[in-house]
Amino acid sequence: MSGAIDDGRDWIHRTLHTLEREALRSADTHLLRLDFPGFADIAFYFKDEAAHPSGSLKHRLARSLYLYALCNGRLRAEQGVVDASSGSTAISEAWFARLLGLHFTAVMPASTAPGKIRELRALDATCDLVDDPAQVATRIAAHVADGACFLDQFGLAERATDWRGNNNIAESIIAQLARETNPQPAWIVCGAGTGGTSATIGRYLRYRRLPTRLCVAEPTGGAFAEGWRRCDRSAGASQPTLIEGIGRQRVEPCFLFDIVDAVEEVDDAASIAGAWLLRERTGYRYGGSSGTNLVACLRLAARLHASGQGGAIVSLLCDRGERYDDTVFAADWLAAHGIDIAPWRSRLQTCIDTGAWPHAAAVA
Ligand SMILES: *Cc1c(COP(=O)(O)O)cnc(C)c1O
């Protein structure tokens, strides 16, 4: 200790140092290139966010949320940490909590898949299960009243990340394209869960004065799509989705509409067929939202192709497919949810072979 008063600054400094060391040990994620025979003039790139140590793009968000809480003086030694998440955010936040010697609690619906609860408990996290999703906010408030630090992914995702660079995902993508034929992509495509990724990318494209447009790939009827179309923050989803991580039921506080140039709505069966196609093309499994991204990329590519344009399209592989062995990649689960991916698999195959999106009548 250097100061006369122990205001906890020493612990904050040590904890920031631990986060800095973690960042230094971590490599940047690959920007994989995929070529599709029907699109000779279009290069597809997919940033492999599943490669982070905690398995998804939420590794970036969790690191930012801890830094933000620390630098705002909201997180102190021995304090508990809490967030509302049943998905990849909880896993990444629990991963960082363990690194920092903190105790993490995830408030989540009791209906959360047992595999996820096991994964969280293996990271020494507590799963606080609520029967009714409407009770989540009340439980969070109770943890905060008990002294826990609320990481607040949905409230802070767009501001906890440095949008002007500092190795954010957008800066990384643009840097990785530097020696490509088209270093300024025509489109970047991502999903919206918290909205943090689309906010970071959209702002960075303007800041760097790039012509690249941003497309949000959304499950059909999701709240981002409804809200963006009508410019209405009170919009709700018109249908639920099976795709995890995206397709929120309401317009989340970090959903920014003004920096999004297009929203592509993708049916769940198409997204899942997309995830299967990614497995064939890359040899690895990725989750359903990566499939949503792929389908949106193909639709944008077909439009570029039809108008005689070429260029690059960049998107994300959001999380590891192993998390979905019992769902997206399980035939009995698909059947139980009335999902038939066979027609979509042949449509997507036709699209990558011919460069044309299947005629509307064939998709009906
Ligand atoms: C969170 C998440 C997204 C969306 O990213 P946001 O930055 O939260 O909008 C997409 N896919 C998966 C698997 C996610 O966990």
What are the tens digits of pLDDT across the range 118-168? 999 999 999 999 999 889 999 999 999 999 999 999 999 999 999 999 989
* pTM of model > 0.85: yes
Q: Out of 3.40.50.20, 2.60.40.420, 3.10.105.10, 3.40.50.1100, which CATH number does the structure's domain 11-52+166-363 have?
A: 3.40.50.1100
Nearest protein CA to atom 5 of ligand 1, as residue:
193
115 has pLDDT over 70? yes
d(CA 16, CA 24): 12
- Which residue type occupies 307? S
What are the tens digits of pLDDT across the range 279-288? 999 999 999 9
Query: How distant, in Å, are the alpha carbons of 88, 196, 244, 316, 345 from that of 65?
Result: 14, 11, 21, 21, 38
Q: What is the domain partition of the chain in residue ranges?
A: 11-52+166-363, 59-157
Looking up tokens 């944008």 gives 300
Q: What is the CATH number of domain 59-157?
A: 3.40.50.1100
d(CA 166, CA 161): 9
Residue 149, phi then psi, degrees to nearest 5: -90, 125
The CA 25 to ligand 1 mean position distance, Å, reads 23
91 has pLDDT over 90? yes
Give the gyration radius of the chain's Cα atoms.
21
The CA 66 to ligand 1 mean position distance, Å, reads 18
Candidates 238, 269, 229, 233; CA nearest to 251 is 233
d(CA 364, CA 344): 11
What are the tens digits of pLDDT across the range 34-67? 999 999 999 999 999 999 999 999 999 999 999 9
Helix or strand holding residue 304 (H, E): helix 288-306
Sign of the CA dihedral running 357, 358, 359, 364? negative
For 220, the token pair is 């059909």
d(CA 186, CA 212): 5
Candidate of 189, 246, 324 to mutate for ligand 1, largest count of ligand atoms within 8 Å of Cβ: 246
Same fold, 11-52+166-363 and 59-157: yes
What are the tens digits of pLDDT across the range 158-198? 999 999 999 899 999 999 999 999 999 999 999 999 999 99
Question: Above pLDDT 90, what percent of the chain?
Answer: 91
pLDDT at 364: 47
